[in-house]
């Protein structure tokens, strides 16, 4: 008990003494996530159903046995004897299925860790984990034996003392082990930010510069360090680690824990983690999104980058990009006359709230990249065909995402505040853009300055537009829409024969798909690459697929998709890195091989930077795979349908 209290006190002291970064905003969201991720263990089970369910058995048993252990300790210490009560007897019998489930779960997990040894668990067997697993198994066996043994007999007393001594040993070991997550993870999950990759703005008036040393780590970061279960989910989902680079998100958290417990408060984070590793992160968010115990990796990684940038220790390739942002307010360093020429050639109007309902945000790629401008022309054609009144700003700055994700907070705030002033002055209420990074930055990060605006990715806006158009067309073809109620016949669906409604619905559905294919030509076999900032950050996964399916496309999913895609390698400033100097494989090459493995001849993208990276990988591979932006695909099929 003393050992347990001493170790817990040390960890609490380290957390309390840190700069306070705890937040409890958006309580309803946090409660809902607590119920799903802690009580139901949904995140643990979803990704690895077998291992996750076994872990859930152990967790649920840990909670169920809390009352039993407390009563037995009260009895053993002579404080109160509740073991003879009828309710406790009933409680013990209710625990039998929990004990059986925990025993099965811990044996499965022990075999997995000690014998199967998945790569995410590390290359060596943890003796500590084996010992604690055996402790848990012993507790369940002694509990089940206690139901059959007379406590007054020598065997019964030995069994009781074995059970209690194992609990005491378990308590002495647990704070210094990964199993401490059983205690901390409910707190960590509840305190985790509702926003993936949440990065509060630095306050320069308070001379904040980011994270430079271990003592700068905030309270949530320290809590995270002590919560890590070492399951390796962050590691195996990290695209940098998957491409053979040195970055390992799990190692970052464990290195933080070691630095805190060993009293390295003055140690520089660039030395604790290594600067090289810090710059390999693409900020895709896979580590943070996959963690089942609420750990937030990105605030540590990007916070450390902020500290390095404030001391002038950014890589040379970022220096060039920062210079472009400072001189020309765009990542390419190009003059705004090029953007003006594109705006004029595309026939775009300057946004006027009296004339336009929607502002189309071009972004750096849309303003200056000729290849991506083809996609924007397709978007403009769709909007015009559907009579959407839209305009653009007379001048745009970069939204600031590359500066923020690479730690140049001062540059980011300069760009963000300038854009906010322009957007407010223009009277913008709704923004549509084809850049997922712009959606995330303007929609979520600008809100930290108090600026709220509705911003939609083009896939979301266009899908809703076409869906509404289809409904309206259906109503007009069938006359005025009828308001009806439908009575379900009791026997419908109870026999193996098709009711006419089932047959006709299937017939019409097949006809719709066939019409979509005929409108767009032969059905296309495509694979869709989910951008990290659209699928994982934004949760936009259904709309792009709905647009492809609308025109009869056959979608073949790659191994990583939807809200857990494999990154293209562009994020976190790595778009500008010298790929030839990277250790391991290029992240874009790994992703391109995954897309090729689907067998689809066409890859559909929905992000300008994904397109740049994956086309580069295609060129390196010498493959004949076709790339098409989602808006270009949709516009092409619409034009064929109306021809």
97 pLDDT tier (thresholds 50, 70, 90): very high
User: Nearest 5 degrees, angle CA 455-CA 220-CA 182?
Assistant: 110
Contact 300, 211 (CB under 8 A): yes
501 pLDDT tier (thresholds 50, 70, 90): very low
The two tokens of residue 605 are: 């993208």
* 117 three-state secondary structure: coil
Residue 508: per-residue pLDDT:
42
Residue 472: per-residue pLDDT:
62
Residue 486: per-residue pLDDT:
56
How many Å apart are CA 581 and CA 603, to the nearest integer?
A: 27
Print the SS3 string covering 221-290: HHHHHHHCCCCCHHHHHCHHHHCCCCCCHHHHHHHHHHHHHCCCCCCEHHHHHHHHHHCCCCCCCHHHHH
Architecture of domain 211-313 in this structure: Orthogonal Bundle (1.10)
Q: Is the pLDDT assigned to residue 129 strictly greater than 90?
A: no
Print the SS3 string covering 314-372: CCHHHHHHHHHHHHHCCCCCCCHHHHHHHHHHCCCCECCCCCCCEEEECHHHHHHCHHH
Provide the CATH topology of domain 24-191: Fumarate Reductase Cytochrome B subunit (1.20.950)
The string of DSSP codes covering 423-463 is HHHHT--EEEES-HHHHHIIIIIGGGGT---EEEEHHHHHH
Start-end ranges of CATH 1.20.950 in the chain? Answer: 24-191
477 pLDDT tier (thresholds 50, 70, 90): low
Contact 230, 122 (CB under 8 A): yes
Class assignment of domain 340-460? alpha beta
Q: Is the pLDDT assigned to residue 377 strictly greater than 70?
A: yes
Burial class from Cβ neighbours inside 10 Å (0-12, 13-18, 19+) for residue 9 reads exposed
Residue 504: per-residue pLDDT:
42
> 378-433: per-residue pLDDT in tens?
999 999 999 999 999 999 999 999 999 999 999 999 999 999 999 999 999 999 99
> 591-642: per-residue pLDDT in tens?
999 999 999 999 999 999 999 999 999 999 999 999 999 999 999 999 887 7
Residue with tokens 């848990």: 136
Looking at every residue in the chain, the average pLDDT score rounds to 89
How many Å apart are CA 432 and CA 380, to the nearest integer?
A: 11
Architecture of domain 500-642 in this structure: 3-Layer(aba) Sandwich (3.40)
Q: In this prediction, what percent of the chain has a pLDDT beyond 70?
A: 91
CB atoms under 10 Å from CB of 351, counted, come to 22
Q: Is the pLDDT assigned to residue 493 strictly greater than 50?
A: no
- The structure's pTM equals 0.87
Q: Which phi and psi (to 5°) does residue 128 adopt?
A: -55, -45
Q: Is the pLDDT assigned to residue 114 strictly greater than 90?
A: no
More confident residue, 513 or 146: 146
Pairing of strands 430-433, 390-391: unpaired
The two tokens of residue 158 are: 């030995």
DSSP 294: -
Strands (E), 543-638: 554-555, 602-605, 626-629
Residue with tokens 């604690």: 132
Q: What are the residues facing 456 on neighbouring strands?
A: 432
Residue 581: per-residue pLDDT:
56
CB atoms under 10 Å from CB of 474, counted, come to 10
Cα torsion angle, 376, 381, 384, 388, sign: negative
Start-end ranges of CATH 1.10.1060 in the chain? Answer: 211-313
Residue 569: per-residue pLDDT:
94
């Amino acid at each position: 008990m003393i050992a347990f209290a001493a170790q817990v006190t040390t960890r609490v002291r380290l957390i309390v003494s840190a700069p306070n970064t705890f937040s409890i905003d958006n309580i309803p969201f946090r409660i809902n996530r607590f119920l799903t991720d802690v009580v139901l263990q949904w995140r643990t089970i979803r990704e690895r159903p077998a291992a996750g369910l076994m872990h859930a058995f152990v967790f649920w048993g840990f909670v169920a046995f809390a009352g039993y252990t407390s009563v037995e300790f009260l009895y053993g210490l002579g404080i109160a004897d509740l073991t003879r009560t009828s309710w406790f007897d009933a409680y013990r019998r209710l625990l039998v299925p929990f004990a059986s489930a925990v025993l099965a779960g811990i044996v499965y997990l022990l075999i997995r860790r000690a014998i199967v040894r998945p790569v995410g668990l590390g290359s060596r067997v943890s003796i500590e984990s084996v010992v604690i697993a055996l402790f848990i198994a012993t507790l369940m066996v002694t509990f089940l034996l206690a139901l059959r043994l007379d406590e007054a007999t020598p065997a019964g007393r030995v069994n009781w003392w074995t059970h209690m001594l194992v609990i005491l040993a378990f308590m002495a070991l647990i704070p210094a082990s990964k199993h401490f997550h059983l205690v901390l993870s409910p707190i960590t999950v509840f305190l985790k930010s509702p926003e993936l990759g949440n990065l509060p703005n630095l306050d320069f008036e308070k001379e904040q510069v980011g994270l430079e040393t271990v003592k700068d780590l905030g309270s949530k970061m320290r809590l995270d360090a002590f919560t890590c279960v070492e399951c390796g989910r962050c590691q195996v989902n990290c695209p940098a680690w998957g491409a053979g680079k040195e970055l390992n998100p799990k190692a970052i958290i464990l290195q933080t824990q070691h630095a805190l417990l060993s009293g390295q408060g003055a140690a520089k984070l660039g030395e604790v983690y290594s600067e090289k590793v810090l710059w390999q992160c693409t900020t895709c968010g896979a580590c943070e999104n996959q963690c089942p115990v609420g750990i937030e990796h990105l605030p540590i990684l990007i916070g450390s980058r902020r500290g390095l940038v404030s001391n002038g220790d950014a890589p040379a390739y970022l220096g060039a990009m920062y210079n472009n942002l400072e001189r020309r307010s765009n990542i390419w360093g190009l003059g705004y006359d090029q953007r003006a020429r594109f705006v004029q050639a595309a026939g775009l109007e300057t946004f006027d709230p009296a004339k336009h309902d929607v502002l189309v945000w071009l972004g750096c790629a849309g303003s200056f990249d000729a290849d991506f401008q083809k996609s924007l022309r397709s978007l403009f054609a769709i909007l015009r065909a559907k009579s959407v009144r839209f305009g653009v700003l007379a001048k745009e700055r970069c939204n600031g995402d590359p500066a923020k994700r690479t730690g140049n907070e001062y540059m980011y705030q300069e760009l963000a505040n300038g854009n906010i002033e322009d957007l407010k002055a223009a009277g913008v209420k709704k923004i549509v853009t084809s850049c997922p990074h712009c959606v995330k930055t303007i929609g979520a990060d600008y809100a930290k300055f108090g600026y709220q605006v509705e911003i939609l990715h083009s896939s979301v806006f266009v899908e809703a537009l076409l869906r509404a158009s289809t409904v309206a067309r259906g109503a007009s073809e069938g006359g005025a829409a009828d308001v009806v109620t439908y009575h379900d016949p009791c026997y419908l669906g109870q026999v193996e024969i098709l009711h006419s409604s089932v047959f006709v619905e299937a017939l019409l559905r097949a006809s719709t798909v066939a019409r979509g294919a005929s409108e767009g030509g032969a059905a296309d076999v495509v694979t869709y690459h989910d951008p990290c900032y659209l699928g994982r950050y934004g949760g936009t996964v259904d709309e792009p697929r709905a647009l492809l399916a609308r025109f009869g496309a056959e979608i073949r999913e790659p191994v990583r998709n939807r809200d857990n895609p494999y990154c293209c390698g562009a994020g976190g400033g790595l778009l500008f890195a010298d790929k030839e100097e990277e250790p391991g494989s290029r992240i874009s090459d790994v992703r391109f091989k995954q897309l090729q493995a689907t067998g689809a001849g066409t890859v559909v993208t929905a992000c300008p930077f994904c397109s740049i990276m994956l086309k580069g990988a295609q060129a390196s591979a010498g493959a004949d795979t076709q790339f098409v932006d989602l808006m270009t695909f949709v516009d092409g099929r619409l034009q064929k349908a109306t021809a």
